[in-house]
Amino acid sequence: MKSALSAMFVLATACSTALAQPDAAPRAPGIESSGYVWNQPDPDKDAALAHRPDIEQGKIAYEICQGCHQSDGSGRADAIYPSLAGQHASVLIKQMMDVRAGRRDNPKMHPFVGEWVVSVEEVANIAAYLNQLPISLDNGKGSGNRLERGRELYENDCASCHGKNGEGNATEFYPLVAHQHYAYLYKEAVMIRDGERRNANPKMVIFIRDYSNEDLKAVSDYMSRLTLPAGTRQP
Protein backbone atom coordinates (compact mmCIF):
# COMPACT_ATOMS: atom_id res chain seq x y z
CA MET A 1 0.00 0.00 0.00
CA LYS A 2 2.82 2.36 0.92
CA SER A 3 4.57 1.64 -2.38
CA ALA A 4 1.37 2.29 -4.36
CA LEU A 5 0.79 5.59 -2.58
CA SER A 6 4.40 6.58 -3.22
CA ALA A 7 4.00 5.79 -6.90
CA MET A 8 0.81 7.83 -7.13
CA PHE A 9 2.51 10.77 -5.41
CA VAL A 10 5.50 10.61 -7.74
CA LEU A 11 3.23 10.43 -10.79
CA ALA A 12 1.04 13.34 -9.71
CA THR A 13 4.02 15.50 -8.78
CA ALA A 14 5.96 14.73 -11.96
CA CYS A 15 2.99 15.30 -14.26
CA SER A 16 2.05 18.61 -12.66
CA THR A 17 5.68 19.74 -12.76
CA ALA A 18 6.11 18.70 -16.38
CA LEU A 19 2.93 20.43 -17.46
CA ALA A 20 3.90 23.55 -15.55
CA GLN A 21 7.30 23.78 -17.19
CA PRO A 22 6.94 26.50 -19.86
CA ASP A 23 10.38 26.36 -21.44
CA ALA A 24 10.90 24.71 -24.81
CA ALA A 25 13.29 21.81 -25.09
CA PRO A 26 16.94 22.82 -25.46
CA ARG A 27 18.75 22.32 -28.75
CA ALA A 28 22.28 20.99 -28.43
CA PRO A 29 24.55 20.46 -31.45
CA GLY A 30 23.73 17.28 -33.36
CA ILE A 31 24.69 15.48 -36.53
CA GLU A 32 24.04 18.61 -38.56
CA SER A 33 26.92 20.37 -36.78
CA SER A 34 30.54 20.39 -37.87
CA GLY A 35 32.65 18.26 -35.56
CA TYR A 36 29.71 16.23 -34.25
CA VAL A 37 30.86 13.19 -32.27
CA TRP A 38 28.31 10.46 -31.65
CA ASN A 39 27.86 9.41 -28.02
CA GLN A 40 30.47 11.82 -26.73
CA PRO A 41 31.01 12.03 -22.94
CA ASP A 42 28.26 13.84 -21.07
CA PRO A 43 28.34 14.44 -17.29
CA ASP A 44 24.70 13.46 -16.66
CA LYS A 45 24.79 10.43 -18.95
CA ASP A 46 28.07 9.24 -17.47
CA ALA A 47 26.77 9.71 -13.92
CA ALA A 48 23.62 7.71 -14.76
CA LEU A 49 25.68 4.91 -16.30
CA ALA A 50 27.87 4.78 -13.18
CA HIS A 51 24.93 4.80 -10.75
CA ARG A 52 24.09 1.53 -9.02
CA PRO A 53 20.40 1.29 -9.94
CA ASP A 54 17.49 0.52 -7.67
CA ILE A 55 14.90 -1.42 -9.66
CA GLU A 56 12.08 -0.87 -7.16
CA GLN A 57 12.65 2.88 -7.25
CA GLY A 58 12.81 2.61 -11.04
CA LYS A 59 9.37 1.01 -11.06
CA ILE A 60 8.00 3.95 -9.08
CA ALA A 61 9.72 6.57 -11.26
CA TYR A 62 8.48 4.81 -14.41
CA GLU A 63 4.89 5.69 -13.47
CA ILE A 64 5.24 8.95 -15.41
CA CYS A 65 6.10 7.02 -18.60
CA GLN A 66 3.23 4.53 -18.64
CA GLY A 67 0.75 6.77 -20.46
CA CYS A 68 2.77 6.32 -23.65
CA HIS A 69 4.91 3.23 -23.12
CA GLN A 70 2.38 1.12 -21.17
CA SER A 71 2.80 -0.42 -17.73
CA ASP A 72 4.62 -3.43 -19.19
CA GLY A 73 6.93 -1.32 -21.37
CA SER A 74 5.42 -2.72 -24.58
CA GLY A 75 4.74 0.69 -26.15
CA ARG A 76 2.02 1.26 -28.73
CA ALA A 77 2.34 0.27 -32.37
CA ASP A 78 -0.63 2.45 -33.37
CA ALA A 79 0.82 5.60 -31.79
CA ILE A 80 4.44 4.85 -32.76
CA TYR A 81 5.60 4.65 -29.14
CA PRO A 82 8.49 2.16 -28.96
CA SER A 83 8.60 -0.97 -26.89
CA LEU A 84 11.14 -0.43 -24.10
CA ALA A 85 10.87 -3.71 -22.20
CA GLY A 86 14.14 -5.64 -22.28
CA GLN A 87 16.06 -2.82 -23.97
CA HIS A 88 19.68 -2.33 -22.92
CA ALA A 89 19.90 0.00 -19.92
CA SER A 90 22.82 1.82 -21.54
CA VAL A 91 20.73 2.55 -24.64
CA LEU A 92 17.79 3.78 -22.58
CA ILE A 93 20.01 6.06 -20.51
CA LYS A 94 21.67 7.50 -23.60
CA GLN A 95 18.39 8.22 -25.36
CA MET A 96 16.76 9.78 -22.29
CA MET A 97 19.79 11.97 -21.73
CA ASP A 98 19.98 12.92 -25.41
CA VAL A 99 16.34 14.08 -25.29
CA ARG A 100 16.99 15.88 -22.01
CA ALA A 101 20.04 17.70 -23.38
CA GLY A 102 18.46 18.48 -26.77
CA ARG A 103 20.64 16.24 -28.90
CA ARG A 104 17.51 14.29 -29.86
CA ASP A 105 14.34 16.24 -30.61
CA ASN A 106 11.28 14.77 -28.91
CA PRO A 107 8.91 17.51 -27.69
CA LYS A 108 6.42 14.99 -26.28
CA MET A 109 9.00 13.17 -24.21
CA HIS A 110 11.18 16.07 -23.11
CA PRO A 111 8.83 17.37 -20.37
CA PHE A 112 9.00 13.97 -18.67
CA VAL A 113 12.79 13.54 -18.66
CA GLY A 114 13.82 17.08 -17.75
CA GLU A 115 15.96 17.54 -14.67
CA TRP A 116 13.02 19.23 -12.94
CA VAL A 117 11.10 15.92 -13.18
CA VAL A 118 13.61 13.07 -12.84
CA SER A 119 17.08 13.04 -11.35
CA VAL A 120 20.13 11.42 -12.92
CA GLU A 121 19.71 8.54 -10.48
CA GLU A 122 16.04 8.11 -11.40
CA VAL A 123 16.94 7.92 -15.10
CA ALA A 124 19.31 5.06 -14.28
CA ASN A 125 16.68 3.39 -12.08
CA ILE A 126 14.04 3.60 -14.83
CA ALA A 127 16.45 2.13 -17.37
CA ALA A 128 17.31 -0.78 -15.07
CA TYR A 129 13.63 -1.45 -14.36
CA LEU A 130 12.75 -1.50 -18.06
CA ASN A 131 15.70 -3.70 -18.92
CA GLN A 132 14.49 -6.52 -16.68
CA LEU A 133 10.89 -6.47 -17.93
CA PRO A 134 9.85 -9.38 -20.19
CA ILE A 135 10.01 -8.48 -23.87
CA SER A 136 6.60 -8.34 -25.50
CA LEU A 137 6.17 -10.81 -28.35
CA ASP A 138 3.06 -9.05 -29.67
CA ASN A 139 4.77 -6.15 -31.41
CA GLY A 140 3.49 -4.48 -34.55
CA LYS A 141 4.68 -5.97 -37.85
CA GLY A 142 4.71 -4.73 -41.44
CA SER A 143 3.04 -6.21 -44.49
CA GLY A 144 5.47 -9.11 -44.86
CA ASN A 145 5.61 -8.56 -48.62
CA ARG A 146 9.35 -7.92 -49.02
CA LEU A 147 10.99 -9.86 -46.22
CA GLU A 148 13.66 -11.39 -48.44
CA ARG A 149 14.80 -7.90 -49.46
CA GLY A 150 14.66 -6.85 -45.82
CA ARG A 151 16.81 -9.81 -44.80
CA GLU A 152 19.37 -8.99 -47.49
CA LEU A 153 19.64 -5.38 -46.37
CA TYR A 154 19.79 -6.28 -42.69
CA GLU A 155 22.50 -8.89 -43.10
CA ASN A 156 24.58 -6.63 -45.35
CA ASP A 157 24.32 -3.35 -43.45
CA CYS A 158 22.76 -3.79 -40.01
CA ALA A 159 23.73 -7.09 -38.41
CA SER A 160 27.33 -6.01 -37.76
CA CYS A 161 26.05 -3.55 -35.13
CA HIS A 162 22.58 -4.80 -34.16
CA GLY A 163 23.48 -8.50 -34.16
CA LYS A 164 22.32 -11.53 -36.11
CA ASN A 165 19.13 -11.79 -34.07
CA GLY A 166 18.62 -8.07 -33.49
CA GLU A 167 20.05 -8.29 -29.98
CA GLY A 168 22.04 -5.07 -30.18
CA ASN A 169 25.11 -4.36 -28.07
CA ALA A 170 24.88 -2.79 -24.62
CA THR A 171 28.55 -1.88 -24.44
CA GLU A 172 28.46 -0.06 -27.78
CA PHE A 173 25.04 1.52 -27.10
CA TYR A 174 23.49 -0.25 -30.10
CA PRO A 175 19.81 -0.92 -29.39
CA LEU A 176 17.95 -4.18 -29.35
CA VAL A 177 15.75 -4.09 -32.46
CA ALA A 178 14.19 -7.56 -32.25
CA HIS A 179 10.52 -7.44 -31.20
CA GLN A 180 10.34 -3.69 -31.82
CA HIS A 181 7.28 -2.14 -33.48
CA TYR A 182 7.56 -1.92 -37.27
CA ALA A 183 6.07 1.58 -37.45
CA TYR A 184 8.60 2.92 -34.95
CA LEU A 185 11.54 1.28 -36.70
CA TYR A 186 10.44 2.70 -40.05
CA LYS A 187 9.81 6.22 -38.72
CA GLU A 188 13.19 6.41 -37.02
CA ALA A 189 15.01 4.96 -40.04
CA VAL A 190 13.51 7.65 -42.28
CA MET A 191 14.52 10.35 -39.79
CA ILE A 192 18.06 9.00 -39.55
CA ARG A 193 18.43 8.76 -43.33
CA ASP A 194 17.08 12.28 -43.81
CA GLY A 195 19.16 13.88 -41.05
CA GLU A 196 16.17 14.62 -38.82
CA ARG A 197 17.25 12.45 -35.90
CA ARG A 198 20.09 14.62 -34.74
CA ASN A 199 21.68 12.14 -32.32
CA ALA A 200 22.04 9.50 -35.03
CA ASN A 201 25.17 7.41 -35.38
CA PRO A 202 26.98 8.70 -38.51
CA LYS A 203 27.90 5.11 -39.44
CA MET A 204 24.22 4.24 -39.71
CA VAL A 205 23.52 7.32 -41.82
CA ILE A 206 26.19 6.18 -44.27
CA PHE A 207 24.76 2.66 -44.42
CA ILE A 208 21.19 3.72 -45.18
CA ARG A 209 21.59 7.05 -46.98
CA ASP A 210 20.78 5.51 -50.38
CA TYR A 211 17.87 3.38 -49.16
CA SER A 212 14.51 4.11 -50.76
CA ASN A 213 11.41 4.31 -48.58
CA GLU A 214 10.49 0.85 -49.81
CA ASP A 215 13.87 -0.49 -48.71
CA LEU A 216 13.44 1.11 -45.29
CA LYS A 217 10.01 -0.49 -45.01
CA ALA A 218 11.41 -3.87 -45.99
CA VAL A 219 14.28 -3.84 -43.48
CA SER A 220 12.06 -2.41 -40.73
CA ASP A 221 9.54 -5.19 -41.33
CA TYR A 222 12.31 -7.77 -41.21
CA MET A 223 13.70 -6.36 -37.94
CA SER A 224 10.26 -6.32 -36.35
CA ARG A 225 10.08 -10.09 -36.91
CA LEU A 226 13.50 -10.94 -35.46
CA THR A 227 13.38 -13.03 -32.30
CA LEU A 228 15.92 -13.60 -29.58
CA PRO A 229 16.99 -17.20 -28.92
CA ALA A 230 15.09 -18.87 -26.09
CA GLY A 231 16.56 -17.99 -22.70
CA THR A 232 18.39 -14.91 -23.96
CA ARG A 233 18.49 -12.17 -21.34
CA GLN A 234 19.88 -8.78 -22.16
CA PRO A 235 22.43 -7.41 -19.64
Instruction: Summarize pLDDT for 4-21 with one digit per residue, the tens.
Output: 444 444 444 444 444 445
Band of residue 97 on the pLDDT scale cut at 50, 70, 90: very high
Per CATH, the number for 147-224 is 1.10.760.10
Counting other chains too, the contacts that 137-140 makes at CB distance below 8 Å and 24 or more residues apart are 137/179, 137/227, 138/74, 139/74, 139/75, 139/77, 139/83, 139/179, 139/180, 139/181, 139/182, 139/224, 140/77, 140/78, 140/181, 140/182, 140/183, 140/184, 140/224
**What are 140-168's pLDDT values in tens digits?**
999 999 999 999 999 999 999 999 999 99
> What are the tens digits of pLDDT across the range 194-205?
999 999 999 999
Compute how many other C-beta atoms are within 10 angstroms of the C-beta atom of residue 48: 26
Output the DSSP codes for 36-98.
Answer: --TT---HHHHHHHHS---HHHHHHHGGGGHHHH-TTS--BTTTTBPP-TT--HHHHHHHHHH
Residue 57 has pLDDT above 50, yes or no: yes
pTM of the model: 0.90
What pLDDT sits at residue 16? 45
In the chain, residues under CATH classification 1.10.760.10 are 2-22+33-131, 147-224
Q: Which parts of 102-195 fold into alpha helices (H)? A: 110-113, 120-131, 147-153, 159-162, 182-193
pLDDT tens for residues 14-51? 444 444 454 678 999 999 999 999 999 999 999 999 99
Q: What is the pLDDT of residues 183-225, one digit of tens each?
A: 999 999 999 999 999 999 999 999 999 999 999 999 999 999 9
| pLDDT above 90: residue 129 | yes
Please tell me whether residue 21 adopts helix, strand or coil conformation. coil
Q: Give the whole-angstrom CA distance, residue 166 versus residue 122.
A: 28
Q: Which CATH number fits domain 2-22+33-131: 2.60.40.1180, 3.40.50.360, 1.10.760.10, 3.50.50.60?
A: 1.10.760.10
